[in-house]
Structure formats: C-alpha cells, structure tokens
Structure 1
Amino acid sequence: MISIVGLVLSLVLSGCGNSSSSSSGTSSKKITITMSMWDPVGTATPSYIKAFEKKYPNIKVDILEIPVDYSQKIHQMIAAKDAPDVILSWEADVKGFAQNGVIEPLDSEISKTKAFKMSDMIPAAQQFKVNGKIYGLPWCYATEILYYNKDMFDKAHLSYPNANWTWQDFEKAAKKLTVVKNGKTIQWGADALSGDIWYSSIGEAGDEIVDKNGNLSLSSGLVKALQFQNQLTNVDKASPRPSSGGQVADLFAAGKAAMTRQGSWYITAYQNNNFKWGIAPLPKEERAYNSLHTGFFTINSSSKYKKADWKLIQFLMSKEGQTLIEQSTNNPSAEMSVAAKGAYKVPGKNGPSDWNAMTESAKSGQFGYVLANPTVTTDLASDFDSVILGQKTIKDIQTEDIPKEQAILDFTNSF
C-alpha cells in the first residue's frame, strides 16, 4: 500500500463509544467516539481533530495508532466487536466490510449534506461503490508520477516530459540520457522499475489488474509491461537491473538516474535534492493510467454514535477539514476544488514547480491493485522483478505465480 501519510486508528480501552450519552451525538453531555488511522500522529492531537472538537465541543475524538498490520488488526477488532466507531478503511477492505454488514452505507447522509459534493470528487472516488452504494469517503489521495532531473535533460538538450508522453518517448529519452564511460554506466536514463510501481505500467498497457469481483485480471498488459521493462533494462541498458527481493537504491535521489517512476509521496522526500527536478504524469501506452492510494472514512455498523460519527466525517470532508488534512499530510484532497487551492504543495528549493502533473494524474488514476490483498500484490511484484533478472519467464508468471496468488485471494476473500 501507497505508504501514504494517513489517518491513524484510535481505540479507547473500554471499547468504542464508551460514554453513556445519547446515541444521537447531539446531547449537551460530552461523548467520546473513536477513529482509526495507520500512520503515527504521536502525542499531539492532529489539527483537523482539534478543529472538529472546537466546532463540536460535546464530541471528543480518540485516536489509536496502528502503524503495523493495520488491516489485520482492524479485522481482529471487528471480530471481537471492539472496532472503532469511524474506521479509516483500506481500499481492499471496503467491499468485504460492506458486503458483511460491518460498515454503513452513507448515501442518505451524503444526499443531505452541504459540506461537500460527490460531483467535486476525482473520477475514481465518484465510482468507488459497492452494489451501487457509497460506503466510504476518501480522506485525501496519493498517486504515481514521473520524476525527472531537469539538469540532466538540459545538458542533453531534451524537452521535459509532459502529459502527452508515451512509452516510446520515455524509452527514447532514457537511451539518450544514459551515459557510459570506460564500459561503466555512470548515469542511467531511468531508475529501475520495481515494487508496486509495476502495476501502473501494467495498467498503462491496458490490463484491469483487479476486476469488479476482486479477482486478478492480468493478461496482455502484463506481458507488454514485462517486455517493455526488459527492453529498457537488458537490451537498451538504459535502466539498472532490480535487486533481488525488490529493494533498489534510489538512484534518482543520488543524482545517478535522470528519471524515476514513483509515488507522489516522494515529493517531500526529494525536497533537498541538490539538482533541479520536476514531475509529470506517467507515460502512457494503451491509455493514461496510474495507481491511486488512499483510505476511506467508514462508519462501524455497531457504533452507538452514528450521528456523531457522521458529523466527524462530514467535517473532515468539508473544505476546512480537507484543507487541514492537506496541510498535515502533504497529499491532495480528492475534492478537486480543494486540491486546486494547493494547500498540499510543499516545493523544495529545486523543485517541483509544475504541479499540473498531480491534476492530470488524478484524472486517469484508478484504484487498481490496491483493491487486492497487499501480500498477493507484493509477492507478484517480486515475481515480475524475477523476469527482468532472468530468474523466471513470463510463462512462469502466467501459469504458476498468478494462479497461486489467485488461490490466496480466493481463500482470504472467503472470510
């Protein structure tokens, strides 16, 4: 999962909703509701929670951090009937939670709210439904984009990447930007493609990746993506081979690669780069595509305080709440009008300045591989690396690895 900077889970020791106040959440007597998130917030109360509690002084929000095994622990709390009132649910969990009656549909409340509009959401968020109903709302989003070293492009007299770039443009530039001296590559045209970034490439080549029933849908797009990266790595010699196990050095940050395909969360990681750099949408093949990452605010069906839960979600989805979340996480709001104001933007001294890459990526972004069990998608990404390393063939992936991982999905989805 887009290790995306996210909201973290909160759980009071006596269980969720431990007050004796009215379930309406509107009593003058103070009540406590609990909310889950996965990234650490530490001891300080997040700004967006402080703002909510100031607006609704009779509702206290407790947050419990679950930075490790988040999804697994949420499932355990649900089974123990001790889950939080508001669950920040992983994309892969929402459908199962909804179908098993664990979370509440939100359509009725959404139809009455004036805090936000679904029509203002990025396309993928508008389409994120289970059996035609909305069960969760995105707290913000991260995507995958192309980073490029402007200094290297300028030295090679090449135009910068843009939204119209194709795989062929990417390959052509990568070859020109690769520098070899005395038989040793001292500058790579593009950093290795490894890890979950594989899935954006597969989506660009046309595969659905995960179908509407939650099954793996990897066919011709997978083959094309593997062949293209093999060409870049083993034929063009414009991209380094991935390390066994999927762990690779960040050659782009080290100033040894002209381009890298990575998550938007690397924008803050690259703030101190000592070279000029920019961002662009990922190059397209059959279509423009990139993997979106987020979490969805959902209401526990067992919560005693559903009206208070909705007040919290409604506030967090309002312009005020979303702006505070943007400032806290440096991730754009899934509400286009909020993201357009740019509170999430934190440029470094050398880049980026061309933020339109985020807007364009939001238009073509999809919740693809993140809808499947992350263990399955991580294992497969490692298998894809093995093809580039010459340890496996594409046929091995098709006849052995995909069926094996689908069996794991079938087992996990049966619960």
Structure 2
Amino acid sequence: MKRRSFGIISLLVLSMLIGLTACGSKDSGTSAEGGAGTSGKKVDLSMTIWGSEDEKKIYQERLDIVKKTYPDINVKLNLVAGDYDQKVQTMIAGGTAPDIMMIAENYQAYASKNQIIPLDELIQKNNVNMSERYTDDIANLMKYDGKQYGMPDRAGAMVLFYNKDMFDKAGVSYPTKDWKQEDLLNAAQKLTIKENGKTVQWGYYPGSWWPQWMQLIYQNGGSLLDADNKPTFDSEPVRKALQFLNDLTFKYGAGPTPTEIADMGNIGADPLFAQGKIAMETTGFWNIGSLAKVQGNNWDIAPIWGETNAFFNGFTITNASKHKEEAFKVIEALTTLDAQMPMIEKGQDAPATKAGLSSDKFLNAEYGGKKINMAAFSESKIYAEPLNPQWNEMMKVINDKLGVYFNNKASLDDTVTSIQSGLEKIYK
C-alpha cells in the first residue's frame, strides 16, 4: 500500500513539473527574442509585393535579414505581376489571402472593407515607438479613421529637380526650402529662353498631374476635403493654386503648353528635364536613378517649400491571416534600419523611417558619380493626402474637368464649381 501511494504521489509531482516546464517554454516562445513566438513551432507566412524581379531580390534580401531575428518564421515572397489590386482581391475572395500585403495609397479601400487590420494593439504590445521610427507626417500616411493600418516602408517626398548650369547661366540662385510659389514663378520666367520667337527652354514643367497642383493647394492652406469629409474644391486656396499653374504657362510662358508638350512627343517631364528642355520639375525619387545615367546634365534636388506629397508604400496584415502576431513581427523588423539597408544601398527608393533618411548610406549616396542633396527628402514636409475609399471616383471627377482647364479651354469658375458639384454627389 505504501509503495502504491508513493507511486501515485510521484506521478502527480511529475505531471506538475511537466506542466510548469511547458508553461515556461510557451512564455519564452512569445518573447521578443523568442523566434516565432509559437512555442518553438515554425510558422509559414505569405507576402505579396509588386515591382520587378530585381526589386523582388532586394525584398528577399531584407527578409533574409529578418530571418536572423526570427528563425522560426518562414515568409514566402510572392511577386504579383500586372494589376496588383485586382489579383490580390481575387486571392482574398478565393480564400487564399496573403498574411502580409504591400499596399500604397489605396490602403484605405482595404481598411474600409475590413480586409486589413489596424495595427495599434500590436504596436503597443510589441513596444514599438512610432514617434522614434517615423516623423508624424510619414506615420500619418497610413492612418485611417484614427488608426494605424500599415508600417510605412518607402516614402519619397516630391522634390524639386533643377539644372544647375541653367541657373548659373541665368544668374538665378538655387532653390531652397525657404522658397515660395512666387519664387518658383520668378525663377521660371528668368530661366525661359526664346530663340526666333520660339521657346527652346522652359523654366518649369507644370503639367496636369495631380501631385503638382495638389501640393499648391495645401501650400495655400487649403485641402480637397474638410474634417467632415466634405468637398472644398470651390475654395480660395484651390482657385489660387489652379490659377497659378495656368498663369505660369499661358500668361507668362514659363511652362510648355499641352500643345507644345504634344509637339515634343508627349514624353513627359522627366525625359524633357534630362534633355535640357526644362530647368525645373517636381517629381519623385525614381528620377534620380534615371538621371544618374545621363551624361552632361548638371542637376541637383531641393526640398519643396511648404508642403508636398509623397509616393509611399507600407506593409499591412490581412484580416484573414491566422498568424497576425508573427506577421507583425516580420513587418516591424522589415522597417528597422538593418532591414531597410539593402533598399538604401541599392538606391531602390527613399526609406520611410527616420533612421533610414538620416543614415550616412542614404545621405552620402552617389548617383552618376556625384553626391546630391539627399537631405531634401527629409526636409520636405509631407501633407496627409485626402486618401479615402472613394479616391478613384474623386480623381476621375477632378481630372476630367482639369484636363480641359489646363488646356485653357474652360474658365476657372466653371471648372471649380463643376468639380465641386461632382464631388458633393460622391460624398453626400
């Protein structure tokens, strides 16, 4: 009897020890340093991106860096060619949604459909200091309805590209962040050259691309939508911005007209700047790599005065993911300086993080054998674009009317009142 009683007690003690050991293993697995955080079990995740095969290699290199921190998390990278959003929506509808999605300006459409999750709780749980990682304007790029839906990864602000030789020849001081719209206009006029009554060099390329006119609205203190999401297109800041661009082209002749652009082959601002046809243009990071291959064009970049927009993307987590905790660990790690370094070193884009934008590798990078003012990206203040689930509908209404206005074939009054009416139908 005594022997039997001792055996039962021993089994009970052993069971308790096993239970305590199991609990200890689970706790260590969920720590920040504990791999996948799944009691030592390996977790498989999928991640979708867009871009080229070369860009995919950079993302894979970055995931390999993350893998060193979380060896138990495996991420399968899926490059989606063609219509990214349509194909991803098909995956979601078919029950094969990825765990992690790279999304850009239209992330709000996904958020409004509950297809991606807010990250605030995971950010807090993992002690991620967003104010240390991002400036407020960049962090706000992926906020919707007051919640953080993505970890911004790339966020190259629009900057001013300018031809230094043209400025020197015209005796015009180089642009700075202290410029105003009037400074742009004055410089553009001085940098415009005519020969035999024909313009052979324009000071600035205004164009009708939305980032070019929209930034002027925000610089004027305006917006497209107010705090209640009501359209404000028929307002003084909007009117001033549109009038400024049309005057620059048709009143002062400092920018090419749509007809002149068509006569040059409709090749766009970037090629015209590379060819020395225009002295200034407002565009993004992507133009740096192209210009680095051009011989004989002595160019640099300057920050945009006031506010400008940024072309960005970030990492989000789908609502369908069964491993949201592990997915967050991955996207958090991808936005650390170590994991962003391959993007910086290969000149893929401007990083979204403070550490990336201020890193020596980014600031002292050489393009075409020379250093340029890469600090222009961090010195440019980014406004929160009026992104919303109706963005595409909104832009169609605006672009249909502005196309006529920027051809100088419609009055400003008719243009803004017509657009205002169309937007009010969308946001009624």
Partner residue in 1 for 2:315: 297
Asked which structure has the greater CA Rg, the reply is: 2
CA contact (8 A) 2:340 2:351 kept: yes
Q: Counterpart of 1:205?
A: 220
Partner letter of residue 272 of structure 2? L
Q: Residue 241 in 1 paired to residue 257 in 2?
A: yes
Contact 2:156 2:351 in 1 (8 A): no
The verdict on how the C-alpha distance between 1:149 and 1:329 changes in structure 2, with shifts beyond 3 A counting, is: closer
Residue 251 of structure 1 aligns to a residue whose secondary structure is helix
One-letter code of the match for 2:298? Answer: K
Separation (CA, whole Å) in 1 of partners of 2:369 and 2:199: 25
1:137-156 equivalences in 2 (<5 Å): 137-156=151-170
Aligned partner (choices 271, 277, 300) of residue 299 of structure 2? 277
Give the gaps of 5 or more residues in structure 1: 1-23, 411-415
Structure 1, 192-201 or 41-50: larger mean CA deviation: 41-50
1:225 is aligned to 241
Q: How does 1:121-140 map to 2 (within 5 A)?
A: 121-127=134-140, 128-140=142-154
Q: Structure 1 residue 64: deviation in Å?
A: 2.0
Unaligned runs of 5+ in 2: 1-35
Task: Evaluate the alpha carbon distance shift between residue 356 and residue 53 of structure 1 in structure 2; reply closer, same or farther with a 3 A threshold.
Answer: closer
1:36 to 48, 52, 55: 48
2:51 aligned partner, one-letter code: D
1:246-325 residue pairs with structure 2 within 5 A? 248=268, 250-273=271-294, 274-283=296-305, 288-325=306-343
Flag the structure with higher helix content: 2
Whole-Å separation in 2 of the counterparts to 1:101 and 1:192: 38
1:74–1:261 distance in 2 versus 1, CA, 3 Å: same
For residue 165 of structure 1, what is the aligned residue in structure 2? 179
Cα deviation digits, residues 297-340 of structure 1 (max 9, x gap):
21112211122211211211222112233335532322213310
Equivalent position of 2:373 in the other structure: 354
Letter in 1 for 2:240: K
Query: Which segment drifts farther, 70-79 or 141-150?
Result: 70-79
Q: TM-score if structure 2 supplies the norm length?
A: 0.79
Going from structure 1 to structure 2, the CA distance change for 1:228 and 1:349 (only over 3 Å counts) comes to same
Pair 1:103–1:344, CA change in 2 (3 A): same
Partner amino acid for 2:223? Answer: E
Which residue among 100, 108, 118 is the counterpart of 2:121? 108
Correspondence for 1:366: 383
CA displacement 1:207-255 (0-9 Å, x = unmatched): 2224456554423222111111111111111110135798635321111
Show the 5 A alignment for 1:388-403: 388-403=406-421
Contact 1:191–1:260 under 8 Å retained in 2? yes
Q: How big is the shift at 1:375?
A: 6.0
Secondary structure of 2:282's aligned partner: strand
- How many residue pairs match? The answer is 380
User: Residues 40-79 of structure 1 correspond to what in structure 2 (within 5 A)?
Assistant: 40-41=52-53, 44=57, 46-79=60-93
What SS does the corresponding residue of 1:237 show, helix, strand or coil?
coil
Q: 1:4 is matched with which residue?
A: none
Contact 2:60 2:77 in 1 (8 A): no
Shift, 1:379, TM fit: 5.9
1:138 is aligned with what amino acid?
P
Percent of aligned pairs with the same residue? 30
CA distance in 2, matches of 1:172, 1:222: 21
Question: What letter corresponds to residue 82 of structure 2 in structure 1?
Answer: V
Q: CA deviation at 1:172?
A: 0.9
CA distance in 2, matches of 1:323, 1:406: 45
Q: Per the alignment, do residues 293 and 342 of structure 1 end up closer, same or farther by CA in structure 2, a change over 3 Å counting?
A: farther
Matched residue type, 1:347: E
- Measured against aligned partners, the alpha-carbon deviations of 1:10-60 in whole angstroms (never above 9, x if no partner) come to xxxxxxxxxxxxxx7635454321112222235746210122234333322
Kept after mapping to 2: 8 A contact 1:246/1:382: no
In 2, the alpha carbon distance for the partners of 1:269 and 1:201 equals 26
Is the CA contact (8 Å cut-off) linking 2:223 and 2:238 kept in structure 1? Answer: no
Range moving further from structure 2, 273-282 or 366-375: 366-375
Matches of 1:232 and 1:339 in 2, distance apart? 33
2:105 matches 1:91: yes
Once the two structures are superposed, what CA deviation does each residue of 1:357-384 show, in whole Å capped at 9, x if it has no partner? 11211xx202315545246426634632
3-state SS of paired residue (2:156): coil
Q: Distance in 1 between matches of 2:424 and 2:51?
A: 29
Moved more, 155-164 or 62-71: 62-71
Runs of 4+ off more than 6 Å: 244-247
Q: Distance in 2 between matches of 1:393 and 1:188?
A: 24
Alpha-carbon distance in 2 for matches of 1:405, 1:343: 44
Aligned partner of 2:200 in structure 1 is: 186
TM-score under structure 1 normalisation?
0.81
SS state of the match for residue 105, structure 1?
coil
